[in-house]
Amino acid sequence: MTKAVSTHPFEELTRLSHGILVSDLERNGNILSDLHKQSLLALVSEMTGYAEGKVSGRRAFSLGTGCGKTSAIIAWIVALYRLGLESIAVSVSASKVEALCDLKKALLSHGVPEHLIGIKHSYTEGVSMPSTGNEDRRYQLVTHARVRGGNDDQLFVAHDGHKRALMVYDESLFRSEAQKVSERSVRMELAALREYVRGRPQESEFAGLISYFEEAIATVSKHIAQQKLCPEVPVLLSLPASEYVERMGYSALLGKDQRWVSLRSLLELVGYPLRTMLTKQDGGLVCYRITVPPQLGDILILDASYPIRELVLLDKTIVDATPAYVRNVKTFNKVSIRCMNLASGRESMSNNFSNPYLEQRTVSRELIEVIKAVPDEKSVLIFTFKPRAGEVDIPETICRDLSGAGIDIRAKTPEGRSRINVLTWGDETSLNHYAHCEVVLLVGLLHLPCLDIASRIIAQQDDLAAPASNAVVTQMIRSEIAHSVYQAISRGSCRVVENGEAKGMEVYLFHKGHALQETLESIMPGVNWNVWVPGYATSESHSSVDLHALQIKEILDQQPEERMKIPTKEIRSALGLEQGKDSVRKMLDRAIERVCHFGEWRRQGQSLIRYGALFGC
C-alpha cells in the first residue's frame, strides 16, 4: 500500500500542480477561461484523490482534446517531486512510445531527476529517449501495449514493494483483447493451401494440418447453421486441442506467410471458449481474454472521446468521474467542417486512387483544389489509409498528384514548419506536433469490419453471450468512425484553446449519412457543418461501371441474410437497364465483377451467389 501522508501535503499537492499546469498551458499560447481553469483543478484534484486514498477504482475523466490532459499529468508529477512526497509512486500509459518520450523530456525540463523516471520500450533507434528496461523507478512510463501484454505487470503496478497510488491512462481503456476469425477467410485460405502444397514434397507434411482444418471448419459450419436457425440465441463452442496441433506445432509450419493469416488465427483459438457470430458482412468465430491486469484496479482514464465512444461505455467497471461543467470548457464556433457525400471506406478510396490517370482520380483533384486555395503561410494536415501489400499506396499517390499539380509538398511556412503533412490512421491519437495546421483533410475514414466490432462488443462486456445484433454492431461502427474523426481533427489547430474557444480551423472530409454530423456536434459544441460541393467527384465524373457497381452493392446489402442467390436479371431490372443491348450487358458484367472483387458475393452463371453458399453452408 502507498504510505500515509498528512492531509496538508495533499492540499498543497493540488494547489501546486494546478499552478504549474496553468502556467505551462499559458506559456504555450493557451488563453484559459475561468471554466477551463476550474476543470483543470477538478482533474488534478482527482489525481490527488487517488494519492490520498479517497478515490479508487477505474474512473474516466473526459476533458476535451487540447485542454491540457497530458500537461496535467506532467504538472501533477512535478508537484509530487517538488513537495518531496517520495512514498507516492505512479505510472503513466500512452499509446505511442514517442508520446512517452515527450512526457519524460517535459518532466526533466521541470527538474525531475532522470533516475526517478522509468520508460520501457523495445526500440533501439527511431525514438528520442532510451529505454530504462526493468528498473523499478518511482514514475514509470509504459505503452498501452505493455499494460495489455501481461509480462510487465510488476513494473507499473508496484514500486519498491508497495502498490502504486494510481496509473494515469491517456486515451480509451479496453480491458480485454478481442479475437475473431472469418469462416469465409478460413475456407478461402484452406483451399489455397491445398493447392499450394499439392504435388510438392511438403504435401505429406501438411496432410495432418489440412485434415485438422477440415474437421474444424465442419464443426464451425455446423454451429453457424444452428445460429442461422435462431440468430438471437448465442451459440457457444470450443475447438478441441487436437494432438496434431500440440505435437507438431502447426503454427510454426504455416510460418509468417501473410497468405495464411486466418488459418493461424484459427489455431490460436483452439481450446478457448468461442462463440459463432453472424453479421451482415460475414460470419465466423469470436472470443476474448482479459488483458489489463485485475490487480491494476486504480486507473484514472483521460479519454476525450469517452462521451461518444460507445464501445468504451459498455465496460461497466469504469465510472465516469467528469463533472458536468467540464463538457462546456471548449466551443468550436471558429471550426468549420465541410463534408462531401462520397463513400469514405478503404475500398472506395483505393478504387478511386487506383485509376491510372489524374482525371479519373477525382478525390485527388478535389484535394488539389482545396490546397491550392490555402495561403502559403498556412499548413495542411492530411489523414488517409496506410499502404497495404497489393493495394495502391494512397499517401504516395496523394503526394505525387499534389506535386504534379504544382504544389510544393516540401515547402516550409515562414515559421519553418512543413506546409504539407501526411499522416495515416493509427496516428490520430497522442501526437501533438501538428497544432499549427489550420486545414485538415480526411481522405477516407476508418470503417471497421462488422466481425471485428462484434468481437469487441462481447469483450468489453466480459460476456461471451452478450447481445451483438446487426443493429448494435452498426451503431458501434458509427461511433468508432466518429471517435477516429474527432481525434484526427484534434491533431490540428483546433486543439489550441483560446479563452474557451477552439482556434479556427477548416476540415474537409468524405462521408455518407448524417450520423457522423450528429455525433460530432454533441462533442464539438458550436462547430459549423457545411456541404462540401464536389467539383470533380460528381455523378457525371464517375464511369457508368462505377455508378452501377455502387448501386448493385446497395441492392446486395439490402438482401436478407438467408437469401443466398440472386439472378442477374433481377439486378438489371432493379437498375432499370435495357435488355438485349450488348453495350449494356458488358457494362453490367464489369460492374458486377467490380462488386464481387471485394464483396461477399460471387458470380456463378447468370446469378450472384453469397460466398458461403459456394461451400454448401
Domain assignment present for residue 1? The answer is: no
On whether both 487 and 425 belong to a single domain, the answer is: yes
Whole-number pLDDT of residue 24:
94
Whole-number pLDDT of residue 242:
66
Torsions phi, psi for 487 (to 5 deg): -65, -40
**Domain that residue 428 falls in:** 335-540
Which of 519, 540, 561 terminates a domain? The answer is: 540
Whole-number pLDDT of residue 69:
94
On whether both 381 and 513 belong to a single domain, the answer is: yes
Give the chain's largest Cα–Cα span: 89
Whole-number pLDDT of residue 167:
97
pLDDT digits (tens, 9 = 90+) for 444-453: 999 999 999 9
In the predicted model, residues of the chain with pLDDT beneath 50 are 1-6, 247, 539-542, 615, 617
On whether both 68 and 17 belong to a single domain, the answer is: yes
Whole-number pLDDT of residue 541:
39
On whether both 485 and 398 belong to a single domain, the answer is: yes
Which of 328, 353, 377 terminates a domain? The answer is: 328
On whether both 383 and 509 belong to a single domain, the answer is: yes
CATH of the domain at 510: 3.40.50.300
Domain assignment present for residue 2? The answer is: no
Long-range Cβ contacts of 208-216 (<8 Å, 24+ apart):
208/244, 208/248, 208/250, 209/244, 209/248, 209/250, 209/253, 209/254, 211/244, 212/242, 212/244, 212/245, 212/250, 213/186, 213/263, 213/266, 214/190, 215/242, 216/266, 216/270
On whether both 486 and 359 belong to a single domain, the answer is: yes
Domain assignment present for residue 64? The answer is: yes
On whether both 500 and 553 belong to a single domain, the answer is: no
On whether both 318 and 252 belong to a single domain, the answer is: no
Whole-number pLDDT of residue 611:
66
CATH of the domain at 569: 1.10.10
Helices vs strands, H then E, count in the chain: 21, 24
What is the distance between the alpha carbons of residues 274 and 317, in angstroms, rounded to a whole number?
Answer: 23
pLDDT digits (tens, 9 = 90+) for 155-188: 999 999 999 999 999 999 999 999 999 999 999 9
Domain assignment present for residue 591? The answer is: yes
On whether both 499 and 426 belong to a single domain, the answer is: yes
On whether both 531 and 594 belong to a single domain, the answer is: no
Domain assignment present for residue 259? The answer is: yes
On whether both 313 and 445 belong to a single domain, the answer is: no
Which of 505, 540, 575 terminates a domain? The answer is: 540
Domain assignment present for residue 117? The answer is: yes
User: In the structure grid, which three cell numbers stand for residue 201, read together?
Assistant: 514434397
Domain assignment present for residue 42? The answer is: yes
Whole-number pLDDT of residue 243:
64
On whether both 520 and 572 belong to a single domain, the answer is: no
Domain assignment present for residue 384? The answer is: yes
DSSP 8-state class, residue 198 = T
Whole-number pLDDT of residue 5:
45
Q: How many domains does the chain have?
A: 4
